[in-house]
Amino acid sequence: MSRSLLRRAIAAATALAVIVTLGACASGGSASSPIRVGWSGEVPPLDPAASDSLGSFAFLTQLYPSLLVVDADQADPVPEIAESVEWTEDGVYTAVLKSGLVFPNGHDLTTSDVKFSLERQLALQSEDGAWRRLANLDSIEIIDDTTIEFHLGTAIDTGFPFVLAGPAGLVLDEEAFFADELTPDADIIDAQAFGGPYVLESSSDEVLTLTPYLGFGGSPLAASTLELRAGDDGDLATRLSDGTVDVLAGRLGPETIQSLAGDDGIDMARAASGRVRLLAFDFGHMPFGSRTETPDAAKAAAVRTAISELVDREALADGLGANWVEPLYGYTADGIPGSSDVFSALHGDGEGGPDVDRATAALDAAAIPYPVELSIHVDLDQVGDPGRVEIDALAEQLDDSGLFTVTVVETDAEGFGSALVAGEVEAVFTSVLPVTADPRDYLEPFRSAGLLAPGYADAGVDKLLDEYASEPDADLRAAKLREIENAIAVQLPAIPLTQGVRVVFVRGTISGFGVDDSLPLDLSRLRR
């Protein structure tokens, strides 16, 4: 089962399966020379307990194995170094390891290492770590060297396999990692304490050298040595253009994407990513919110409805370029089993476009004079400069309708937090990017007392979320996901706007380059 450099938090129902064999004319090197990979972003600490970010996981999953891995063709994670997994009784999830697993340093990889890795996450409770994802794990029991039981707090937790396939589930060598503190990078490299598709042989300020580990218990086995250079996407794009980098991946800005997409000597593959952007409302402080001087739930709902009728997602996406975002018509990323385009029919012109007449009717029916004044906060630390372009375009759409007068309040993370506490936030332009591939990660923020839409609460949605989490049948779970999306869409605590796009560029004689809706790049498949 493939492991992705940018393995995201979605499990697509149908893969794009775009496999591109490249034979461009740029500098290539011999068949045995390393593949030079440009990584846009910072290289994270090598200790998996230090971080729970998607960027960190995307890198570390190349170095460490997992019991399970996300497969774009399956609704649930599938075995990687596990031989099998199953719910053996209520609240007990049993995994059997493949036999003969060994770390690169010669240490046996057994269930003791699995137990150590998860319990270490819980013991360290690193500030930015993934240990919180293990909240439903009561205990771990080793049956023998290859069989292990996870005892959970609920009879069935369909999210737990996704936890094992995510940052909290990376399996470490218990003989090499410190049990009571984070292990320094140098110690990890010296101990060769990896076990994933690659071994990190050396690290300098500029280049990391990764060599294939043929003892990796998953598949496919890597075949090419990689020289990974991290840095700014603009600098790396220049290196790709001049032939000193073969592959460019990571978080690329729209300007970089646009410049490289027009280069005839460079090949590109693209697919939708798991990042979604929304306009979320504070039910207490939005116009006619419960904590305003003129509280009126019906009028507040009419304001949200009118805004939803006016959103032109195609125009938002066009403003940033087709290789940066795509229109999004539901709360979960497109491609997830059960995801829907509920907003195409429920709001706007019924075909995904805006409808000013319907927006006007919503305000008129609630006897709301217009234009309605609305402030939208945007945390630029979270959404970056492209987010500024998108929210300005949305504000212009609302202003041009004549129904709203929008003020965009740009701030940073600290300023946004202060404004939220002070009750100054009416609406916020924000993004959601799950780290694990559990589809409910997109919808859990809408649970009562959630942080995405303060003041929003619905017992019916809470019940549906609980039912989803305990439903073992994948088809029934997908149907439940659609039911949840529909229930939330009627109440509009947030309005989905766009979905991100992952783009990978390659030049030279590189093969095995693939992108699909769940696995944008798989380093272990790269061949020169």
Which contiguous run of DSSP H or E holds residue 88? strand 82-89
**Residue ranges matching CATH 3.40.190.10 in the chain:** 18-266+507-525
DSSP-based three-state secondary structure for 117: helix
How large is the average pLDDT for residues 513-518?
A: 52
- For residue range 270-292, list pLDDT tens digits in order: 878 889 999 999 999 999 999 99
Mean pLDDT lowest among 61-70, 107-116, 319-328: 319-328
- 2 has a pLDDT exceeding 50: no
**Residue ranges matching CATH 3.10.105.10 in the chain:** 273-501
Q: Are strands 82-89 and 92-97 parallel, antiparallel or unpaired?
A: antiparallel
Burial 369-398 (b: 16+ CB within 10 A, else e): ebebebbbbbbbebbeebbebbbbbbbebb
Phi, psi (deg, nearest 5) at residue 227: -110, 110
Highest-scoring range by mean pLDDT, 31-35, 249-253, 263-267, 296-300: 296-300
Residue with tokens 């987010």: 387
- For residue range 231-254, list pLDDT tens digits in order: 888 899 999 999 999 999 887 888
Pick from 467, 433, 478, 382: nearest CA to 10: 433
Asked if 227 and 37 touch (Cβ cutoff 8 Å), the reply is yes
Rg (CA), the chain: 24
- For residue range 44-55, list pLDDT tens digits in order: 899 999 999 888
Mean pLDDT value across the chain: 88
First-to-last alpha carbon distance for the chain, in angstroms, is: 21
Mean pLDDT lowest among 194-198, 369-373, 435-439, 479-483: 435-439
Which CATH architecture fits 273-501? Answer: Roll (3.10)
Asked if 524 and 220 touch (Cβ cutoff 8 Å), the reply is yes
Two tokens, residue 355: 């409808």
Residue 519, pLDDT score: 45
DSSP-based three-state secondary structure for 116: helix
User: 18-266+507-525: what fold?
Assistant: D-Maltodextrin-Binding Protein; domain 2 (3.40.190)
Q: pLDDT category, 514, cuts 50, 70, 90?
A: low
Q: For the chain, what's the residue count?
A: 528
- For residue range 316-352, list pLDDT tens digits in order: 999 887 678 899 999 999 877 778 899 999 999 999 9
Percent of the chain with pLDDT over 90: 66
Q: How many Å apart are CA 326 and CA 334, to the nearest integer?
A: 10
Look up the pTM and report it. 0.88
CA distances from 109 to 117, 155, 446, 453 (A): 11, 29, 40, 44
The better pLDDT of the pair 528, 283 is held by 283
Mean pLDDT lowest among 2-16, 46-60, 365-379, 482-496: 2-16
Asked if 115 and 164 touch (Cβ cutoff 8 Å), the reply is no
Q: How many Å apart are CA 111 and CA 143, to the nearest integer?
A: 8
Highest-scoring range by mean pLDDT, 29-38, 199-208, 302-311: 302-311
Tell the burial category of 337 from Cβ atoms under 10 Å away from its Cβ (0-12, 13-18, 19+).
buried
Residue 122, pLDDT score: 98
Q: pLDDT category, 512, cuts 50, 70, 90?
A: low
- 19 has a pLDDT exceeding 50: no
Q: How many Å apart are CA 249 and CA 506, to the nearest integer?
A: 9
- For residue range 403-429, list pLDDT tens digits in order: 999 999 999 888 888 888 888 999 999
Highest-scoring range by mean pLDDT, 117-131, 263-277, 443-457, 464-478: 117-131
Strands of 120-176, DSSP E: 137-142, 147-152
The better pLDDT of the pair 298, 255 is held by 298
Pick from 270, 323, 336: nearest CA to 514: 270
- 5 has a pLDDT exceeding 60: no
Residue 528, pLDDT score: 81
Q: pLDDT category, 11, cuts 50, 70, 90?
A: very low
Which contiguous run of DSSP H or E holds residue 268? strand 267-281
